[in-house]
Structure 1
């Protein structure tokens, strides 16, 4: 059964690790699909953080759009998939790294992770996507 707008937005706002897909822009290649952390508040844009020169960052810049799919299997099998255009790509800030890390990591792990990632992951960008097309369903208990 499809989710209502409120249900799908509330679900997407939960801290799921999403599968990001973007056109690989190469003949004979399927879209690139990778797990990623994301940030979303109902009614807003989605943002992700990635390396400026990473494969996904380069492909997203070329395609101008991407999709995310988040799912769970308990207490019911549920998923939300969203696709849309990139509306901004900006240099990442340390504060954004803290925000997104705090969404996924236990509080006591955030500072060490941020310190490591800020030094070791190279130049990062934040890519904002405006949700345009949604698919969602709750398939009932697993």
Structure 2
């Protein structure tokens, strides 16, 4: 059964690990699909953070759009997939890295992770996507 707008937006706002997919832009290659942390609030735009010179950033810049898919298997099998155009790519801030880490890590781990990631991962960008197409379903208990 498809989710209502409110249900799908609420589900996407929860801290799931997303599968990001973007056109690989090469004949004979499937889309690049990788796990990624993301941020979303109902009614807003989705954003991801990645290395400025990463393959993800390059392909997203070329394609101008990407998809995210999140799912869970308990207590019911549920998924939401969202796709849309990139509306902004900007240098990432340390505050955004803290915000993203706080979504996924226990409070006592955030500072250590952010210190490490900020120094070790090189320059990052935040890529914002405007949700345009949604697919969602709750398959119930299996």
TM-score, normalization by structure 1: 0.99
Alignment of 1:1-142 (within 5 A): 1-142=1-142
CA positional deviation for 1:139: 0.2
Which segments of structure 1 move beyond 2 Å, counting only runs of 4 or more? none
Distance in 2 (alpha carbons) for counterparts of 1:61 and 1:108 = 35
Distance in 1 (alpha carbons) for counterparts of 2:116 and 2:59 = 26
Distance in 2 (alpha carbons) for counterparts of 1:3 and 1:114 = 35
Alignment RMSD? 0.3
Q: Deviations over 1:103-138 (max 9, x none)?
A: 001111000000000000000000000000000000
Q: Which runs of 5+ in 2 are unaligned?
A: none
Q: Deviations over 1:56-75 (max 9, x none)?
A: 01000000000000000000
Distance in 2 (alpha carbons) for counterparts of 1:75 and 1:81 = 19
Distance in 2 (alpha carbons) for counterparts of 1:93 and 1:28 = 36
CA positional deviation for 1:31: 0.1
Q: Which runs of 5+ in 1 are unaligned?
A: none
Q: Deviations over 1:6-51 (max 9, x none)?
A: 0000000000000000000001000000000000000000000000
Q: How many correspondences in the alignment?
A: 142
TM-score, normalization by structure 2: 0.99
Q: Which secondary structure does the structure 2 equivalent of 1:7 belong to?
A: helix
